[in-house]
A and B are shown apart, each in its own frame.
Chain A
Amino acid sequence: MTSDMTRQNRLTGTLDAVLHLLDRQVVDVHGRLVCKVDDLELVQTESGDLGVTALLSGPAALVPRLADGRLGRRLHDHWRRLGEPHLDHDDPYRIDLALVAHLGSGVELTVPREGVLVRQGQRGHRLNDLLQMTVQGPDGVPVGRVLDVRLEPRPQANGEVLWVTGLVIGRGRPGSYLGYDRRPDMGPWLVARIVRFLHRHSSYVALEHVQDLSWSGGVMRVDPGRMETLERA
């Protein structure tokens, strides 16, 4: 279905979680459509490294992502109440990263779609938890939120894992950079200028400079002196 031009596999180099992976179409080995990448599973090691280990899908992954604002939170609460009797209502479908063959304009799996959507219990955090966090300076003053997460594939004993190398931090919402952070020269000129103007305060910070990452508190601390301009990232 896709042409040779886009056959290059994104998973072989660095990529951005929101820009290149989130909300993409998942396609099975026969080209049939399976689901969307509604969220990503993030696992934190004892040393503080963060890695993407699986794709999450289904309402249990999508609805919490809509809860970014009052209307969305009400929808989320309502959806949770609707499924109260179900123990696994909050548990999304999990597709292990090892099943992904190729990442282009869609996510191609190595298996047919039959039985691929399985609830496997909560194993780690979600990318959405990270995207909802407030980023504070050392003095506790908010400096923005996480707009995107830069990833790098590194082989692991049990297959490939996408490790987080750094965060794009700024004002606005995740994905609102529309790809102009990665390709500042991308056209059309006027749209590029407007988007880059709106994001003139956005910057990049390597993961090792992120301190006090608190999943329960929903905050992290970043020293503004450690922030780099995006073009160099």
Chain B
Amino acid sequence: MKKVFAVALGILTAIGGFVDIGDLVTNAQVGARFGLSLGWVVILGVLGICVFAEMSGRVAAVSGRATFDIVRERLGPRMGMANLLASMAVTLLTFVAEIGGVALALQLVTSVSYVLLVPFVAFIVWLILWRARFSVMENVLGLFGLSLIVFAVALWQLGPDWGELLHRMAVVDKPGDEQWRTWAYYAVALFGAAMTPYEVFFFSSGGVEERWTAKDITTMRANVFIGFPLGGVLSLAIAGSTAVVFGPLDAGVDTLGQVGLPVAVALGKIGLAIALVGFVAATLGAACETGLSVGYSISQYHGWQWGKYVRPDVAARFHLVLALVTIVATCVLLTTVDPILVTEASVVFSAVALPLTYLPILIVANDEDYMGGHVNGRLANTLGTVYLGVIVAAAAAAIPLMVVTRMGS
């Protein structure tokens, strides 16, 4: 019974923790402009993150080594350092976007300018990173993040033509007033939002924090293969409800308030209140995960003690990194840069940085020295190789598409 409870809790946390500011903003923007015609990208991305997270989770469970240990062991200190700099630049960008997202969500509640809220939010994030127990942090924020289910309820209440909505997902098409290159740009952005590198840094390091062993592989797989796809359903619900409300208006989504609008239209004040709780929990949870990911990765490269399973003074350099990145993110946001713009950039650069960490994990997941009998099977390797191609293609296309479409405008 206890085991069932643990698995259920893990799955619920995975659902709530899947959606972050990148998913919220990108899915709403795409829903408003393209309907569900890019829904297949969400499915492609969710399956991709399942493949990637399952491999890195399995490596962490069997060998006790997290992602950046593996990156440095396989690629050496030079390539490892280049990889670290690129991955951390992207993750820091995501961290900035998440803290900005929390502040924007609180602005919707309090009507206080988000810039004034940023230092407060950053302090809360740092306090959680320093003091809160790992499991408490993950479970509480993940469960509150489940309030985003309100988007699925809203979509149902809006009563769309389901056949028409699902038909759009099944065919490769775009609305007549959009160009194909804009369509391709948003496809890459959605893919980057679903497959953000920090998710894997956090997932594998979290496995070491929770002291997974080979016995926990089944639980880990349940979290990945049930939790992540259900999180993907939430993403599609956000895109779908925005498509129903914004589609006929021919309007775009530029603020977090507009992301919540379909819920307000369908369910009124109560629905909006629940959505706001979901926004705060999802972005705050993701802020903690991205912040920790930076600390984890830098410490793992250098071999420093890291993790919340030891006292902060035992992992002093890890906590110093956490404090520094929180200060840096605060400073970036205090320049009044638009957090939504940072989010858009972060999902595209996520797609660029993804192959750097994917390839070492794919290789080590095949290495019997690390994995013993738990090496990749035929299915994992087939999917792993297909996704290697998809990830490399998305990474190569991302920046050219960003330039020619002027970030999708």
Contacts and interface: CB of A to CB of B under 8 A. Distances in A.
Do A and B associate with each other?
Answer: yes
B362 interface: yes
Interface string B300-314: 101111100010001
Interface stretch (B6-14, B112-120, B136-144, B370-378): B370-378
A102 B76 CA distance: 22
A35 B369 CA distance: 21
Interface in A157-207: 173-175, 178-179, 183, 186-191
A87 interface: no
Interface stretch (B62-70, B250-258, B322-330): B62-70
Nearest to B213: A3
Contact of A3 (B62, B75, B208): B62
Given A23-B72, A68-B78, A191 B64 contact: no
B267 interface: no
Nearest to B389: A190
A66 B374 contact: no
Contact of B78 (A36, A69, A183, A189): A69
A62 B78 CA distance: 10
B77 interface: yes
B65 A106 contact: yes
Nearest to A34: B303
B342 interface: no
Nearest to A3: B214
A2 interface: yes
Nearest to A173: B76
A25 B370 CA distance: 13
A1 B211 contact: yes
A174 B368 CA distance: 21
A25 B65 contact: yes
Interface in B360-403: 362-363, 366-376, 381-382, 384-385, 388
B368 A183 contact: yes
Contacts of A65: 76-78
A57 B367 contact: no
A188 B376 contact: yes
A83 interface: no
B373 A23 contact: no
Contact of A62 (B75, B77, B300, B314): B77
Contacts of A20: 369
Contacts of A191: 359, 362-363, 385, 388
A4 B374 CA distance: 12
Given A5-B374, A69-B78, A32 B314 contact: yes
Contact of A6 (B62, B302, B381, B384): B62
A26 B372 CA distance: 21
B200 interface: no
B81 interface: yes
> Which of A4, A24, A34, A179 has the largest count of B CB atoms less than 10 A from its CB?
A179
A66 B78 contact: yes
A219 to B, nearest CB: 22
Contact of B73 (A23, A34, A57, A66): A23
Contacts of A33: 303-306
Given A32-B305, A66-B77, A189 B385 contact: yes
Query: Which of B211, B215, B366 has the most CB atoms of chain A within a 10 A radius of its CB?
Result: B366
A188 B381 contact: yes
Contacts of A57: 303
Nearest to A39: B77
B348 interface: no
A105 interface: yes
B385 A2 contact: no
A113 to B, nearest CB: 8
B208 to A, nearest CB: 7
Contacts of A66: 77-78, 81
Contacts of A106: 64-65
Interface in B39-58: none
B76 A6 contact: no
Chain A CB count within 10 A is highest, among B73, B76, B302, B306, for B73
A179 B65 contact: no
Contact of B61 (A3, A10, A173): A3
Nearest to A131: B76
Nearest to A26: B303
A90 interface: no
B221 interface: no
Given A32-B305, A66-B81, A105-B64, A188 B366 contact: yes
A25 B69 contact: yes
Given A6-B372, A187-B381, A179 B367 contact: yes
A38 interface: yes
B55 to A, nearest CB: 11
Contacts of B74: 175, 178-179
A121 interface: no
Contacts of A138: none
- A-B pairs, 5 with minimum CB distance: A5-B372, A36-B303, A105-B63, A3-B214, A1-B64
Interface of B: 61-65, 69, 72-78, 80-81, 208, 211, 213-215, 300, 302-306, 310, 314, 359, 362-363, 366-376, 381-382, 384-385, 388
Given A34-B305, A191-B388, 13 more contacts: A4-B214, A6-B370, A6-B372, A20-B369, A22-B76, A25-B65, A33-B304, A33-B305, A35-B302, A179-B74, A183-B368, A188-B385, A191-B362
29 contacts: A1-B64, A3-B372, A5-B62, A5-B214, A5-B373, A6-B369, A23-B72, A23-B76, A25-B65, A25-B303, A32-B305, A32-B314, A34-B303, A34-B305, A35-B303, A35-B304, A66-B77, A105-B65, A106-B64, A106-B65, A174-B76, A175-B76, A179-B369, A186-B366, A187-B376, A187-B381, A188-B382, A188-B388, A191-B362
